[in-house]
Amino acid sequence: METARITILVDNYVSPKAPRKIMAEHGLSVWIETFAGAILFDTGSSGTVLKNNADILGVDLSGCIAICLSHGHYDHVGGLETALGLARGCSLHMHPLATRPKYSGTTGRMRHADSVYFVSGAFRTVAREICESAGPQEVIKGLWTTGEIPRRNDIEDVGGRFFLDPDLTVPDPLPDDQALFLPTSDGTIVVLGCAHAGIINTLARVRELTDNAPICAVIGGTHLDGASGTRMAWTLAELKRLGVREIHPCHCTGIEKAVALCNSVGGDSSPAYASFRMSY
């Protein structure tokens, strides 16, 4: 088998070429298969879409060795109860602050950005290995989380109005945001959840953790949908400086920004969507 096979199970969009009955929702879930086994990265907003799409795409979630969460927003943990019910023997990996209550919106229009099931800790009632770490974790052999990502520039922000309190007075810096990376002989594959820490901060962290190995592919959400022209131009320049060879943006990137990223990076780059599959 190839080094890795990656399947987008849940995304905001479905390609017209996707198998019939594939569903879209605001969320992200990625199935990753390597020689060491298969893991689920995030679970989308609902178990309904996650299970529907997995079944249609021939993905057996019961064979999942581990579930890894990029952060605690509902569109990434909303399907967790369903996923854990199907993958009863899997471990669960996350940042220790991922379960903090999260809110978003504007004054008078507050909404919960979390999941009741997740924040309540209900997932802890079943005996399973739960790995909570602010540092990098090896989820399965060769596949790592970045852990908490240092914020080292002044231009990347969390990508929206996110708060720690229902009055929307305490900004949430989302320290729980993390990505996955898989070093290969051709370079490092990086899988993003939302990149609330900033896509460039995230890739810089991956370079640090891999002895500055080249990045051959980036897949996932970038939270650039609302980015200014200044930030977008800077991001494209930084991706070139970092030598990223291929990018497949999805989820919170936005169609216009996804196309800009792909056109700038070039190579085999293309937007991703529910049912999109890649092999490396």
What distance in Å separates the CA atoms of residue 38 and residue 58, rounded to the nearest whole number? 13
pLDDT, one tens digit per residue, over 210-230 is 999 999 999 999 999 999 999
pLDDT, one tens digit per residue, over 71-115 is 999 999 999 999 999 999 999 999 999 999 999 998 889 999 999
CATH topology of domain 4-279: Metallo-beta-lactamase; Chain A (3.60.15)
Q: What is the mean pLDDT of residues 241-256?
A: 97
Say what the pLDDT of residue 124 is: 92
Say what the pLDDT of residue 40 is: 98
Say what the pLDDT of residue 16 is: 87
For residue 2, pLDDT over 80 is answered with no
Q: What angle do CA 43, 49, 54 make, to 5 degrees?
A: 75
pLDDT, one tens digit per residue, over 8-20 is 999 999 988 899 9
Domain ranges (residues) in the chain: 4-279
Say what the pLDDT of residue 3 is: 85
- Got the DSSP string for 74-105? HHHHTTHHHHHHHSTT-EEEE-TTTTS--EEE
Q: Which residues contact 58 (CB under 8 A, 6 or more apart)?
A: none
Say what the pLDDT of residue 242 is: 96
pLDDT, one tens digit per residue, over 110-169 is 999 999 999 999 999 877 899 999 999 999 999 999 999 999 999 999 999 999 999 999
- Whether the CB-CB separation of 216 and 37 falls below 8 Å is answered with no
Q: Which two tokens stand for residue 150?
A: 């240092």
Q: Which residues contact 266 (CB under 8 A, 6 or more apart)?
A: none
pLDDT, one tens digit per residue, over 29-70 is 999 999 999 999 999 999 999 999 999 999 999 999 999 999
Say what the pLDDT of residue 1 is: 44
pLDDT, one tens digit per residue, over 179-190 is 999 999 999 999
Say what the pLDDT of residue 107 is: 81
